[in-house]
Amino acid sequence: MLPMYFLNIYKEKGITSFDIIHKLRKILGIRKIGHSGTLDPLAQGVMQVAVGNASRLLEYLDDDKEYIAEIKFGYNSTTQDEEGEKTFVAEPNFSEQKLKESLKKFEGEISQIPPIYSAIKIDGKKLCDLARKNHEIPEVKPRDITIYKIDLLEFRQPDFAKIKVHCSKGTYIRALVRDIGQSLSCGGYLTDLTRTKAGNFYMENSIKISENVEQYKLDPVNVLNLNKIVIDEQQYKKVMNGNPLKYSTQNQNEKKYMLIFNNRLVSIANLSDNILKMEKVFKTE
């Protein structure tokens, strides 16, 4: 029987998110391992990693993200980060107040065009692969994202800034930096990126990969931000057969629940008309 737990992994610079998964598969001897969001090789920070059956729970994780990003103004980059070919745009010539005003404009629900050098697939092909092979790039459609807050942490005139960004899943910080530079009429690209938070996974609690990584496993019951219902043995047998359960509650706004038996997560269920219908079921030992 597959295990079911999460790991709060710290990805270091210079390796890919897939490298992390590959190493964990070797250490744990488990093939079924997934994660909630890719980090570029040049970036570092938190990765929400799901081991075994926890891979079926990734969609229920809180998926907002928080980043610390460093920006160099005055140039554009083909990859919108340190790796790409740089092109001079204009000498940066703005005050700290002007920069803060520009950052404020990006808060809220906005439309963002993802970078060409990204893993987004169009017609089954990754954009980054097409770009590296100098193939014709199809039109990249904008995506709706949410920037909850941007804080200016440091500004060294004329061309350096450090910002903290709290955003929704699917936000490309490279693209955000590109757009900030464009709004200031001088260009800009990302020079450093750290993901400090992903949902309720925080960098200060993250761990680097080691042989004893399993000691830091996180129970889905304590990770998922869903209401819990403790069920008895008779209800458990019904759940294992995929049968619905009756459940009355005053809180009709809550639609998804974790069903717990013997302190173990056994199902994710949807509530409708006082009936819990099983969305996913997990056998326990």
151 is catalytic: no
Residue 237 main-chain phi, psi, to 5 deg: -65, -40
Q: Rounded distance, CA 109 to CA 4, Å?
A: 35
Catalytic residue chosen out of the listed positions 19, 40, 123, 273: 40
Token pair in block for residue 126: 């990754």
Count of C-beta atoms within a 10 Å radius of residue 284:
13
> Do the bridges between strand 256-261 and strand 227-230 make them parallel or antiparallel, or are there none, so unpaired?
parallel
Q: Rounded distance, CA 168 to CA 66, Å?
A: 9
Task: With H, G, I as helix, E, B as strand and everything else as coil, classify residue 268.
Answer: strand
> Concatenated DSSP letters for 242-255?
T--EE---S-TT--
Closest to 155 measured CA to CA, from 96, 91, 98, 87? 96
Length of the chain: 285
SS3 of 48-116 = EEEEEHHHHHHHHCCCCEEEEEEEEECEEECCCECCCCEEECCCCCCCHHHHHHHHHHCCEEEEECCCC
Cis peptide before 158 (omega within 30 of 0): yes
Q: Rounded distance, CA 43 to CA 3, Å?
A: 29
Q: Rounded distance, CA 151 to CA 160, Å?
A: 14
Residues noted as catalytic: 40
